[in-house]
C-alpha cells in the first residue's frame, strides 16, 4: 500500500500547521523497513524528549497543588507508546507512513510502536522548524481532544499500565474474566480477575466492569512488581 495522499495538505490542515521542510517531514514518516538512506529513528529520539518536556510543563501548570510524585505518574500515563499511538490515529498518521511492502502487509500502519515513533518524529520536525512554543500550540489541542485530562483519569488508568508491562515482560496482553455478578439491575457489582499466560493473578469488585478491571489491574501490577 502506498501513501494515501500525494502531498501533506490534509495532514497540515489536521495539525493546523504548515511544514517548512517537506524533506524532513518525509524522513519523519519513513520507517527503517523502507530501506532508504534515512529513517525516523533520530527524529523519534528528539521528539520523545520534546514531548516529555511539554507534557511535564502542561501538568505542572494545570495541577499546581500536586506534588512531584503525583505529577510523574500523570506524565507517565500520557507519555508512552499507547498514548502516542492514540494521538497518531486521531490524525490518521498511518496513511502517510513510508513502509516496506512486507511491513505494510503485516499491518505496520496500525502497529502502536510504528505509529508512536512517527508521531514523536513529526513533533520533532515542528520543534526544529518552529521551536517549543509552536509544538505546544499544535500538540496540546490534539492531546486534550484525545484524553480526559483530569487527576482521576490520569492516575487510575492501571489497565493501560498493566498492558504495557505485560507486553514488555511476557510478550502478551492480560485477559480479564468476569467471575461474579451480584445485585439488582440498579445496584449491580461485578468481580473481575486478571489472567496472564494462563496464570490467574488478582481479582477485584466494582459497581461496573470497568472499575473492577481497573482495580484488578492495579492489584496485579503490585503483585508483579513485588515479585521482581
Active-site residue list: 48, 120
The residues facing 194 across adjacent strands are: 176
Sheet of strand 175-182, all strands in order from the earlier edge strand to the far edge: 175-182, 189-196, 199-206
Cβ of 219: how many Cβ atoms within 10 Å? 18
What is 110-152 written as a DSSP string? G-HHHHHHHHHHHHHHHHHHH-HHHHHHHHHHHHHHHS--SHH
CB 28 within 8 A of CB 125: yes
Cell of 106: 503485516
Per the rule left: phi > 0, alpha: psi between -120 and 50, beta: everything else, 159 is alpha
Three cell numbers, residue 76: 507517565
Amino acid at each position: 500500500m502506498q501513501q494515501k495522499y500525494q502531498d501533506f495538505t490534509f495532514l497540515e490542515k489536521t495539525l493546523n500547521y504548515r511544514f517548512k521542510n517537506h524533506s524532513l517531514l518525509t524522513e519523519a514518516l519513513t520507517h527503517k523497513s523502507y530501506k532508504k538512506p534515512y529513517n525516523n529513528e533520530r527524529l523519534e529520539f528528539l521528539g520523545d524528549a520534546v514531548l516529555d518536556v511539554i507534557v511535564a510543563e502542561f501538568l505542572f501548570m494545570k495541577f499546581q497543588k500536586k506534588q512531584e510524585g503525583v505529577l510523574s505518574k500523570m506524565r507517565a500515563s500520557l507519555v508512552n507508546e499507547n498514548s502516542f499511538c492514540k494521538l497518531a490515529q486521531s490524525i490518521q498518521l498511518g496513511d502517510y507512513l513510508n513502509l516496506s511492502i512486507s511491513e505494510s502487509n503485516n499491518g505496520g500502519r496500525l502497529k502502536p510502536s510504528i505509529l508512536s515513533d512517527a508521531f514523536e518524529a513529526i513533533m520533532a520536525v515542528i520543534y526544529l522548524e518552529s521551536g517549543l512554543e509552536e509544538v505546544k500550540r499544535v500538540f496540546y489541542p490534539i492531546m486534550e481532544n484525545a484524553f480526559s485530562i483530569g487527576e482521576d483519569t490520569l492516575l487510575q488508568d492501571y489497565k493501560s499500565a498493566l498492558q504495557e508491562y505485560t507486553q514488555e515482560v511476557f510478550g502478551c496482553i492480560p485477559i480479564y474474566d468476569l467471575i461474579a455478578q451480584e445485585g439488582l439491575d440498579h445496584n449491580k457489582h461485578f468481580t473481575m480477575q486478571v489472567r496472564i499466560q494462563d496464570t490467574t493473578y488478582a481479582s477485584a469488585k466494582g459497581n461496573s466492569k470497568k472499575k473492577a478491571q481497573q482495580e484488578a489491574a492495579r492489584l496485579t501490577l503490585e503483585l508483579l512488581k513485588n515479585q521482581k
